[in-house]
């Protein structure tokens, strides 16, 4: 396998999309560092499943809102792995910690949003590159309609893509759209923290045709996209926002579904 023997660090790797990515990479022979914030039990469970898939790794705790703790994650990676091939920046706080209307969001909530996403990516990439050789892959999990913090993150993806191209390192982002995992499990991700009526409405929106594939995504869908972007065959792709969203981002919201052939 082309990925066998590679090393990865995944922030937010204990649950949801991050967990799905960790397990997909492990299935393909990648050794995985599972970074988590609070849920050590979930991180250990993810690591156990990594080992069940014939790979290995370790868990590492850290708050991505604190640059020094991010740097310590990479110090641990250097100590345990010696090198790094794939860095997946996926961690984010619960939606309720920062997702507010612009006239209501506090400065602290704003700093939580930008710190956990754009600033964390900045510090993460700066820490990853010194231990990453040619052929390295850096991937940010974004959400393109997701506001200023994600816009800043996506700008950094483009800046780093240019700066690191000479080193043979690619930098891309994957925008998943709506993703649900199994309910009431660590596979569920951040959306399962929303009120049930909101979850039901979002799923109905996808199934009605506004997502052409007529279903929400799963962590496995995003893990598959990540594996592709980590491959040797993706070496000519950099600075891009990859929409792995079942086609939702290409829908025209000004015209009814029947006119678009999606009813």
What's the pLDDT tens digit per position in 35-61? 999 999 999 999 999 999 999 999 999
CATH number corresponding to 7-189+218-254: 3.40.50.720
Residue among 145, 80, 93 nearest 119 (CA) = 93
User: For residue 84, what are the β-bridge partners?
Assistant: 132
Buried b (16+ CB within 10 A) or exposed e, 165-184: eeeebbbbbbbbbbbbbeee
Tens of pLDDT, residue by residue over 204-220, are 988 999 899 999 999 99
Active centre residues (catalytic):
143, 150
* Mean of pLDDT values over 194-202: 84
pTM for the model: 0.93
Q: Phi-psi region for residue 214, left (φ > 0), alpha (ψ -120 to 50) or beta?
A: left
pLDDT of residue 105: 87
State percent of the chain over pLDDT 90.
Answer: 68
């Amino acid at each position: 396998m082309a990925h066998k023997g590679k090393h990865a660090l995944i922030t937010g790797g204990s649950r949801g999309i991050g967990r799905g990515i960790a397990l997909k990479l492990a299935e393909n022979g990648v050794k995985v560092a599972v970074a988590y914030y609070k849920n050590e039990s979930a991180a250990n469970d993810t690591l156990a499943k990594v080992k069940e898939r014939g790979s290995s790794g370790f868990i590492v705790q850290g708050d991505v809102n604190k640059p020094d703790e991010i740097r310590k994650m990479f110090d641990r990676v250097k100590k345990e792995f010696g090198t790094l091939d794939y860095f997946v920046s996926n961690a984010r706080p619960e939606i309720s910690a920062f997702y507010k209307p612009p006239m209501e969001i506090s400065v602290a909530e704003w700093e939580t949003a930008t710190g956990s996403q754009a600033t964390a990516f900045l510090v993460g990439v700066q820490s990853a590159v010194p231990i990453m050789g040619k052929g390295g892959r850096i991937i940010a999990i974004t959400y393109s309609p997701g506001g200023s913090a994600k816009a800043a993150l996506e700008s950094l993806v483009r800046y780093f893509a240019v700066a690191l191209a000479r080193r043979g390192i690619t930098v891309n982002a994957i925008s998943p759209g709506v993703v649900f995992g199994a309910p009431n499990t660590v596979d569920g991700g951040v959306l399962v923290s929303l009120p049930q009526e909101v979850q039901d409405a979002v799923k109905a929106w996808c199934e009605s045709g506004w997502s052409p594939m007529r279903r929400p995504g799963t962590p496995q869908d995003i893990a598959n996209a990540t594996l592709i972007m980590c491959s040797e065959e993706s070496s000519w792709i950099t600075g891009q926002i990859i929409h792995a969203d079942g086609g939702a981002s290409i829908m025209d919201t000004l015209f009814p579904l029947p006119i678009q052939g999606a009813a």
